[in-house]
Amino acid sequence: MKPENHPFSELSPDFILDAIESRGFRVDARILELNSYENRVFQIGIENREPIIAKFYRPDRWSQDQVQEEHDFLLELASNELSVVAPISLGDTTQFKAGKFMVALFERRGGRTPLIESESSLEILGRTLSQIHNVGAAKPFLYRPSIDVDDYGKSSRSWLLEAEFIPINLEKQYENISNELISRIEDKYSKYEAKNIRIHADCHLGNILWREQRPHFVDFDDSRNGPAVQDLWMFLSGSVSERSRQMTHIIRGYLDFREFNFGELALIESLRALRMMRHSAWIGKRWDDPAFPKAFPFFNTEKYWVEHLYQLSEQLEIIEEEEEGISLNV
């Protein structure tokens, strides 16, 4: 698809401002595009009030019911006084159509990307996540998907092998490694049962604003059913001992408000591998969007796939060698 024919090419300044004004806002023509690949997100200047954030969803990714489940989850969390950025209610709805786009509006929230290193910050993070999960556990998503081996692993592998992004000389190696990796992950899932609840599912430091001594979670676009540990492990970094220290304090805080299934710790490396596989397929599926070649210029090169295969091989070794996952001192 040529860039000028991509759906997001329709988002001219006039189109964006007309969409916002159609909901009763008086815009002042200030538009600032924010950093977002999956959707398009803009800060819109509004006369006589703070700017708002307008999110134009990628066409054909989510259904109206799936978007509404994201919004309803955010509204539930906000009603429980949890620190999330919920969509603005527009009469009896939180979304509207503008051309082929579903659109939602949000209040602008300030904050900084956190440096979560201290024990107290890690425990605050754990306490907040446990309260989010308490709400998430009340009922499942009915329309949004789940994190599982079929969706993240098998479908990603199949799509990549059919899409001809992987160099021919590396296809067989990718097929062999991915097959073996999926088999080992399935073994882990069968051994360590995890209960799926509604989770953020894309919980990393880029999706947190830290202010007033607590985290404010943003971007629930990828929210789905999954194990609680998925929202914890992506905050870990550094050596094995450092990751163990970080997770110890996150779970100490988590236990203040919710029980934690320690068996899920054994799934961390499997979840990491599934995310790696899905990430590559995600970039490939979006390659006709001009934003993606700019953001991931090395994706469509042999060097990328050599490194990706090396990373998958490393994950396979880790999963084969580990027993019960990261050790803690809770």
From the list 193, 194, 72, the residue with the least C-alpha distance to 135 is 72
Q: Which two tokens stand for residue 242?
A: 């450092």
Side-chain-side CA neighbours of residue 220 (13 Å):
31
* Residues 6 or more apart whose Cβ sits within 8 Å of residue 52: 20, 25, 43, 44, 46, 88, 105, 106, 107, 108
CA–CA separation, 18 vs 15, rounded Å?
Answer: 5
- Whether residue 272 contacts residue 184, with contact meaning beta carbons closer than 8 Å, is answered with no
From the list 37, 60, 89, 76, the residue with the least C-alpha distance to 294 is 37
Radius of gyration of the chain (CA): 21
The dihedral of CA 200, 205, 211, 215: what is its sign? positive
* 219 flagged as catalytic: yes
- Whether residue 146 contacts residue 224, with contact meaning beta carbons closer than 8 Å, is answered with yes
* 202 flagged as catalytic: yes
Residue type, 297: P
- Whether residue 224 contacts residue 278, with contact meaning beta carbons closer than 8 Å, is answered with no
- Whether residue 169 contacts residue 206, with contact meaning beta carbons closer than 8 Å, is answered with no
- Whether residue 261 contacts residue 230, with contact meaning beta carbons closer than 8 Å, is answered with no
- Identify the active-site residue in 148, 202, 221, 289: 202
- Identify the active-site residue in 148, 219, 222, 289: 219
Angle at 219 between CA 58 and CA 65, to 5 degrees: 55
Taking phi over 0 as left and psi of -120 to 50 as alpha, with beta for the rest, 60 belongs to left
Residue numbers annotated as active site: 202, 219
